């Protein structure tokens, strides 16, 4: 692998690590990045890489929240272990809608939902929704102010919103945070629950992509994948810490405006032929 290709992979890992957790769409940014600075790989490998690179980001959640998620910790009381087990149960329930539809429509989405115009409009639409929702929430208190307060029906409702993230540009974290807030969950716990949802969803999606692609990687492909995952892990740790500190004193409107501006830029670039439609 040339130095130039290696630097592109590092950039992709940085983009993934930042955008997986901020509600601005990781897959959308990676697709746009590929439009501007294409990685020298096959289309089949690229479609697999878009998903599997997210494993590095998911491992960052496991690393940061291991104690909260660990149901076998000897340091936890019985009630704390039961709370952790209940949290995992709610996460699994919330993952069911996206898992079912993802399995049914994975190939169709790879074929039809990869254009920059789709990404741009998804960025804009959900950017507007974030702004409208946060303006509506101004001065209001949230009905659910802890992870324990998220019921199984609420978890399933959040999972239904996660289905929207199957469209590139929507953002998995963005759709689940929006859904959780609409259902009355506060910003901090909406973000954390979104992080936890990513663990089974992305492990499952990565496994599916790896099975479809096969494990017969060339040396260069293996190096690209491992490098992207490692970089995304390190950057994800920093991005998650930033987001959790940021929302202590801010809402999500800034991310909404960012999405709208980026979406308009992408539409303009497409109209001028700078990137493909």
Residue 262 in any domain: the answer is no
Torsion-angle region of 39 (φ positive above 0: left; ψ -120 to 50: alpha; else: beta):
beta
Return the pLDDT at 81: 93
Residue 40 in any domain: the answer is yes
Return the pLDDT at 107: 67
Return the pLDDT at 118: 85
Instruction: Name the domain count of the chain.
Output: 1
- As a whole-number percent, the residues of the chain with pLDDT over 90 amount to 52
Rounded CA-CA distance 208/100 in Å is 12
Residue 181 in any domain: the answer is yes
Return the pLDDT at 110: 65
Residue 276 in any domain: the answer is no
Rounded CA-CA distance 39/225 in Å is 12
Return the pLDDT at 69: 92
Average pLDDT across the chain, whole number: 88
Q: Of 27-31, 111-115, 215-219, 258-262, which has the strongest mean pLDDT? A: 258-262
Return the pLDDT at 208: 81
Q: How confident is the model at residue 112 (pLDDT cuts 50, 70, 90)?
A: low
Residue bearing the bigger pLDDT, 35 or 3: 3
Rounded CA-CA distance 102/109 in Å is 9
Residue 191 has pLDDT above 90, yes or no: yes
Residue-wise pLDDT for 131-145, tens only, equals 999 999 887 889 999
Region 146-175 average pLDDT: 90
Residue 28 in any domain: the answer is yes
Rounded CA-CA distance 61/70 in Å is 12
Residue 170 in any domain: the answer is yes
Phi and psi at residue 185, in whole multiples of 5°?
Answer: -85, 140
Residue 122 in any domain: the answer is no
CB atoms under 10 Å from CB of 262, counted, come to 21
Residue 159 in any domain: the answer is yes
Residue-wise pLDDT for 53-110, tens only, equals 888 999 999 999 999 999 998 889 999 999 999 999 999 999 999 888 877 776 676 6
């Amino acid at each position: 692998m040339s130095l130039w290709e290696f630097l592109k992979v590092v950039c992709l890992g940085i983009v993934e690590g930042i955008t997986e957790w901020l509600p601005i769409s990781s897959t959308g940014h990676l697709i746009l990045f590929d439009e501007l600075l294409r990685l020298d790989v096959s289309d089949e490998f690229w479609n697999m890489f878009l998903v599997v690179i997210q494993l590095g980001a998911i491992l960052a959640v496991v690393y940061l929240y291991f104690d909260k998620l660990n149901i076998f910790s000897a340091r936890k009381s019985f009630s704390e272990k039961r709370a952790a087990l209940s949290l995992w149960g709610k996460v699994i329930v919330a993952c069911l809608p996206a898992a079912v539809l993802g399995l049914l429509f994975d190939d169709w989405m790879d074929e039809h939902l990869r254009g920059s115009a789709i990404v741009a409009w998804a960025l804009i639409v959900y950017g507007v929704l974030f702004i409208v929702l946060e303006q509506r929430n101004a001065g209001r208190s949230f009905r659910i102010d802890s992870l324990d307060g998220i019921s199984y029906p609420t978890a399933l409702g959040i999972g239904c919103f996660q289905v929207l993230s199957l469209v590139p540009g929507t953002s998995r974290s963005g759709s689940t945070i929006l859904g959780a807030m609409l259902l009355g969950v506060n910003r901090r716990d909406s973000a954390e629950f979104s992080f936890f949802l990513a663990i089974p969803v992305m492990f499952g999606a990565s496994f599916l992509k790896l099975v479809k692609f096969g494990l017969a990687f060339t040396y260069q492909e293996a190096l690209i994948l491992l490098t992207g995952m490692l970089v995304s892990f390190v950057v994800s740790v920093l991005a998650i810490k930033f987001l959790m500190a940021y929302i202590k004193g801010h809402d999500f409107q800034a991310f909404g405006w960012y999405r709208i501006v980026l979406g308009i830029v992408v539409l303009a670039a497409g109209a001028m032929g700078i990137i493909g439609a």
